[in-house]
A and B are shown apart, each in its own frame.
Chain A
Amino acid sequence: MANKLEVRNLRISFRTVSGKLQAVRDISFDLKDGETLAIVGESGSGKSVTSKAILGILAGNAIIDGGEIIYDGRDLLKIPEDEFYKIRGDKIAMIFQDPLSSLNPIMRIGKQLTEAMILKGKARQKSCRKAFNDYLALLEKAMIRSVAKNDPAKAKSISEKCRNFNTFEITHLKLETAYNNATNNANEAIAEIENALFLIEKNAFKDDKNIIKNICDLSLGTINDFVVKEDAEHLHGLVSDLKKSVSVAAKTKNYDDMTSYLKGIDAILKKALEKEMPNFFSMGYYNTFSGEALPSLPVPELNKFLRKYLDDNYMLEFIDGVKIALKDSAEEHLVKKEQVVKELNASLPVYSGDEYVRSEIDALTDKLVKIVHESIDPMEINKDSAAHTFESSLRSAIAVYFNGEKRNVIETKRYDRQKASYDKKAAKAGGELSWKVTPAAIVDLQLAKENICKIITRLCEHYEEQIAQKDQRNYDDEAVAVIDYLKFNASGFANKVTRRMAKLRALKLMEEVGIPEPRKRYKQYPFEFSGGMRQRIVIAIALAANPDILICDEPTTALDVTIQAQILELINKLKKERNLSIIFITHDLGVVANMADKIAVMYAGKIVEYGTSRDVFYSPAHPYTWALLSSMPDLDTNEKLEAIPGTPPNMIYPPVGDAFAERNKFALKIDFEKQPPMFRISDTHSAATWLLHPDAPHVDPPKIVTERIARSKKNAGGANNE
């Protein structure tokens, strides 16, 4: 599974009146494709801040002290705001905690659902047009260069081919859009007919001309390109008969004729819907360039015929050209990459050297950045995230070092000065004073250097891997992927999202998230919905743009047990259907057992335990996880709950050692002095506590936790035996 999102060494703090509050302190995690990661922690532990950083909606007083959030080859912390427009809501969407305050009370539900679709539709059209044109131009150049090397005469035909691709692609999309509209019309008409038949059967049909008119309009709207010719004539006849029958039926109260007409239309539409879909891509080519009418064949044979026509006249050659161009470009850049690996390795001693000279480092960095930039293959469709983020990560890591070098001197001076005055006053007063000197915030320069080297070695390893695998690349597949990419972008700019289309999509979404009678609900206001229904609407809005990643920020905290269970089931269902990656934020460990593949337990801005859901629930290792588990009762709990004493520390003055030490009854002496590193327990499981150090005394989790684990293991065993 590929990583969808990578968060590395993220640090965020907030400027407040009383000082700099460190909300997130160096956290790293990966989110894999189709996986749910749960982030669990108390309020103030930095879990919401993390998710807001991913979505780029941090409050104005937030400072990003360092780190990277890598999505699709870009570092989300460093891209400009108008780049972010294309990601926020479109690729990464969020469900907020309170469904009451995240919906607009004076806008109808339908409008709120379609608002984003229409706005995003325009933006997407623009960006797709740019991507399509840019890539096609690039492809043309590369193809001409590669092909012309062997056969200069072919250059002209290639540029013509590229231009042709542009033309017939548009025709293809027009055809396909018309077809989709017809399908939608047919589906709607069938639903309306069902409704009308139902009313007639129940003798509740109120001679409503609007229903019939609607059915007639919808049915006629399906005739182009969709219904076969003979059927089309039949349909015309039925519709006009139906129109006439309305007034007759109103007088006689005899609906038999009307029923039979409706059933006739229904049958034709259903038959048409079952028909195989023609290949519009090749049809677009045929229509544009053959200059002849389409042969009237059944759809499967028509598809074969069109496919052959396209392949013979155009596609095989085009794909061949793309293949050669891709291969040339990749090989050319591989050579450059080998060069880059050499240069990077050569530069490592400088970066890990004792003394940094500003000008030297800057020059070297500029040089490295330049050659890495040149080594990126522009023909790649899937962006190589390690190479793309190299510049921003390296530069910011170096900035951390130099800023730290400067700040450290100032900080030490300040601390010495204040300490001296404190000592003086304390000596005068005899004993300790009620205030303390803020300790100097020293940047660990050695660590900063290591981080810089890490960035370089990471890219090195990545490139070496690519070079080693160069023989296994399949350029046939890649060429096809390029065509698909072009098709996808072309459809993006040809498909205009109209209000009607947005409405149809919104209705489908509402059905998908389990809202009964979507047509009626579409026109209502949020106050007419119950809490659970409102949360469903919020989920539907989040899904409107078909995102890759869904961030759920305490989506069920404001809801009841039953509704909570429904919403969790819904999120799980959607995850499976749409292959979503989910980040699920909550303070309630009970909720995530059902949801999460992986769990990150956060405390005071750090991840203290990270593992699969089974790891964390069945063999928890950090005392904070123990405390969380033992502070919540389950149905078999009778003993006194082990509440966590006290409150989380004030993060303006983060504690020197383990932040949880103050509230931890298992705390060791070293916990107050030094922060524990992440100890690996297994491949998937790690925790930051000194208790895992080989020299630490053996400590068992609290009884309430061990007993519960034993009980659930026993239950599971019992269930298996049965």
Chain B
Amino acid sequence: MSENNQANKPNDDNVLLRVENLSQHFGDLKAVDNISFDIKKGEVFGLVGESGCGKTTTGRSIIKLYNITSGSIYFKGKRIGAGTLSYKNAIKDAKKKFKEDIDALNNGNDPEKNEKAAKLKEDLKHFIAEQKKQIASAKYDNSHVDKDLITQIQMIFQDPIASLDPRMTVREIISEGLVIKGVKDKKEIDEKVYQVLETVGLVREHAGRYPHEFSGGQRQRIGVARSVIMRPELIIADEPVSALDVSIQAQVINLLNDLRHDLGITILFVAHDLSVVKYFSDRIGVMYFGKMVELADSDELFRHPLHPYTRSLLSAIPLPDPDYEKNRKRLTYVPLRDHDYSVEQPTFREVAHNHFVLCSDSEEAKYKEIIGG
């Protein structure tokens, strides 16, 4: 098969990463369940939610640390990850429907019974062949990813202590990616390491030291340097500041902000601290138990939080203001109380321009009213 066989989406210039119906199941646990979003070039996309809601899993699925269960991930218009479960389910459903239809035919007295049955069978065969082709294509895409393309996505991990090998020097840690990629020239590597160290606010002398000689903030800078040296277009920052002190947090956030402006890097920012996410992100997606419940521009989300879960999250943010805090009323989110999904299941829809919410018909009407008013 040639390159042309890769399923490519018509490339929207602005979209760097597109996630379509991504699901990531671990056995029975649906860690991520059918979420879709785009990340535009040069923006910071924030992903928030409580622990266990699947935000880290989403990040790791994008960078292909897991084989995704279902859905597709497109980076720069090329499919870099694909799952097969949805196709398999489609085949299963089609077979079931076929059986029901045949049973209905056999019980009835249709004179053209045999012809119709033959046609149904033909259709099913066709459909299955189609799906199998899709599965093959997904499997192919999943395992034949352009190495250069995928190195343009890099990750910064949460724990600056655990994510650095204590037995490697900073130079080895930072240059490991280059070495793996096949760069052999020692001088070139050193030059690049020094350059990137300076970019993240460290000095040349640090290259020869070991991680334990650095403070928490400096270690996180090393983590950033390691990802920046590969000249990535997209950085997935998985809670890069939650393990740090407040004063050091600001240093790292400022650093990421500078990188974004100077190098034009796009960032997927995963965090649970809403104040930080609000400050840093252009758009924010809110996740709850594996589902994306709301997605909007960051100002819009904080001005008009629509989904009850988003509201409860916003009401829980502590602020450095004692008078406000004394009167703060925290909202709680109880899915069974807040939604009535007995009639229809909710879907993810756009209720206002660029403002998506997971809701049912009646809720959509309600939300539109809130925004309109």
Show the binding face of A for B, using Cβ within 8 Å: 42-43, 530-531, 560-565, 568-569, 587-591, 593-594, 613-614, 617-618, 627-629, 631-635, 637-638, 640-645, 647, 708, 712, 715-716, 719
**Contact A631 to B275, CB < 8 A, known contacts A640-B254, A641-B253:** no
Residues of B within 8 A of A629 (CB): 320
Across the A-B interface, the 4 shortest Cβ-Cβ residue pairs: A633-B279, A631-B250, A643-B250, A594-B325
Q: How far is the CA of A565 from the CA of B315 in the complex (A)?
A: 9
- Residue of B at shortest CB range from A563? B50
**Contact A643 to B247, CB < 8 A, known contacts A590-B318, A613-B322, A635-B317:** yes
Over the window 226-248 of chain B, the binary record of Cβ atoms lying under 8 Å from chain A Cβ atoms (1 yes, 0 no) is 00000000000000000001111
- Residue of B at shortest CB range from A587? B245
Q: Is the CB of A632 within 8 A of B313?
A: no
Q: Identify whether the interface residues of B are mostly helix, strand, loop, or mixed.
A: helix
Q: Is the CB of B316 within 8 A of A590?
A: no
- Residues in B195-243 with C-beta less than 8 Å from chain A: 215-218
Q: 17 A-B contacts, Cβ less than 8 Å apart?
A: A564-B318, A565-B330, A590-B320, A593-B324, A594-B328, A618-B322, A631-B246, A632-B249, A633-B278, A634-B319, A635-B302, A641-B253, A641-B279, A643-B251, A644-B247, A647-B215, A647-B218
- Residue of B at shortest CB range from A599? B322
- Residues in B291-346 with C-beta less than 8 Å from chain A: 302, 312-313, 316-328, 330
- Residue of A at shortest CB range from B258? A640
Q: Is the CB of B251 within 8 A of A561?
A: no
Residues of B within 8 A of A563 (CB): 50
Q: Is the CB of A593 within 8 A of B246?
A: no
Assuming A589-B320, A716-B324, what are 10 further A-B pairs, CB within 8 angstroms?
A: A42-B247, A561-B272, A561-B316, A590-B317, A594-B318, A632-B249, A633-B250, A634-B319, A645-B251, A712-B321
Q: How far is the CA of A634 from the CA of B319 in the complex (A)?
A: 7
Q: Is the CB of A593 within 8 A of B322?
A: yes
Residues of A within 8 A of B51 (CB): 531, 560
Q: How far is the CA of A634 from the CA of B317 in the complex (A)?
A: 9
**B6 at interface by CB-CB < 8 Å:** no
- Residue of A at shortest CB range from B333? A562
**Contact A716 to B323, CB < 8 A, known contacts A43-B216, A560-B50:** yes
- Residue of B at shortest CB range from A586? B246
- Residue of A at shortest CB range from B302? A635
Q: How far is the CA of A716 from the CA of B245 in the complex (A)?
A: 29
Q: Is the CB of B250 within 8 A of A594?
A: no
Over the window 254-275 of chain B, the binary record of Cβ atoms lying under 8 Å from chain A Cβ atoms (1 yes, 0 no) is 1001000000000000001111
**B276 at interface by CB-CB < 8 Å:** yes
Q: Is the CB of B302 within 8 A of A588?
A: no
Q: Is the CB of B278 within 8 A of A635?
A: yes
A683 to chain B, nearest CB (A): 18
A438 to chain B, nearest CB (A): 21
Residues of A within 8 A of B251 (CB): 643-645
A590 contact from B217, B253, B275, B323, Cβ within 8 A? B275
Q: Is the CB of A631 within 8 A of B247?
A: yes
Q: How far is the CA of A262 from the CA of B50 in the complex (A)?
A: 45
Residues of A within 8 A of B246 (CB): 42, 587-589, 628, 631-632
B222 to chain A, nearest CB (A): 14
Over the window 8-32 of chain B, the binary record of Cβ atoms lying under 8 Å from chain A Cβ atoms (1 yes, 0 no) is 0000000000000000000000000
Q: How far is the CA of A563 from the CA of B330 in the complex (A)?
A: 11
Q: Is the CB of B330 within 8 A of A569?
A: yes
Most chain B beta carbons < 10 A, residue from A562, A631, A638, A708: A562
A458 to chain B, nearest CB (A): 33
Residues of B within 8 A of A531 (CB): 51
Q: Is the CB of A628 within 8 A of B247?
A: yes
Q: How far is the CA of A643 from the CA of B276 in the complex (A)?
A: 13
A711 to chain B, nearest CB (A): 9
Residues of A within 8 A of B319 (CB): 590, 593, 634-635, 712
- Residues in B52-77 with C-beta less than 8 Å from chain A: 52
- Residue of A at shortest CB range from B52? A530
Q: Is the CB of B320 within 8 A of A631?
A: no
Most chain A beta carbons < 10 A, residue from B312, B320, B326: B320
Q: How far is the CA of A569 from the CA of B329 in the complex (A)?
A: 11
Q: Is the CB of A42 within 8 A of B327?
A: no
B277 to chain A, nearest CB (A): 9
**Contact A632 to B325, CB < 8 A, known contacts A531-B51, A560-B50:** no
Most chain B beta carbons < 10 A, residue from A593, A627, A719: A593
- Residue of B at shortest CB range from A590? B318
